[in-house]
Structure 1
């Protein structure tokens, strides 16, 4: 899930030895433009209902976005995917017109760390992907 104001519709890197069983846990990151921090926080304080509904309908749970200011404004997103057809669910999300509109708005506030990235809705993925190397419940 993968970038945009929320994530990118590209599959996350999967470890050959997942550290646990259960829902697929995904972490992603990207840069936030310093002059857009307040605007980004404001729009995420009032996420559009259609976007929230699509997240839920795409089998995403426990979704959080964190902001770190050092060494430069960086967002880290974490969520659980609880479905069994990740690529299909992310494709359906990417086809939602309200989600596309949200991504166009939030992409302008962000800078992707992914070489060749052009936006949340197309290209190689907008958010940088991470590999889970440790988990304890």
Structure 2
């Protein structure tokens, strides 16, 4: 989730691949996200967070959220430092395939989710 700091509220889109054999498991764990993970997401100034699944041409996840804080990098570092979030990522990373060259997981490396550029928005 690499972004610049001190940019204020903005919308972020990300994507990655879901392993076909993990679709049901991924849906099941996201139907019951751990409370401490949800708490950390909120405490990290993330709002309106959704994850969408497309099955074709291969299982792909698209995440969309609003970042409402003032220091994205610092908030993401706090999230990455949370032990419950680390355990959640360890579980879900195993179900996913990153499109990011050199990615090693959600916690370390150049980022796990592919980043997108917003090219249109209407409220």
Shorter-chain TM-score range: over 0.9
Out of 98, 105, 108, the residue aligned to residue 122 of structure 1 is 108
Deviation at 1:49, TM superposition (A): 0.1
Q: Structure 1-normalised TM-score? A: 0.86
Matched, 1:58 2:50: no
Q: In structure 1, what is the equivalent of residue 10 of structure 2? A: 24
Whether 1:33 aligns to 2:24 is no
CA–CA distance in 2 between the matches of 1:127 and 1:102?
15
The normalised TM-score by structure 2 is 0.95
Which 4+ residue blocks in structure 1 deviate beyond 4 angstroms? none
Q: Give the unaligned 5+ runs of structure 2.
A: none
Computed over aligned residues only, the root mean square deviation of the Cα atoms, in angstroms, reads 1.1
Aligned to 2:118: 132
Tell me by how many angstroms 1:82 deviates: 0.3
Number of equivalenced pairs: 120
Equivalent of residue 95 in structure 1, options 81, 87, 91: 81
Residue 11 of structure 1 and its aligned partner are, at CA, apart by 1.9
Q: Tell me the distance in 1 between the aligned counterparts of 2:81 and 2:10.
A: 22
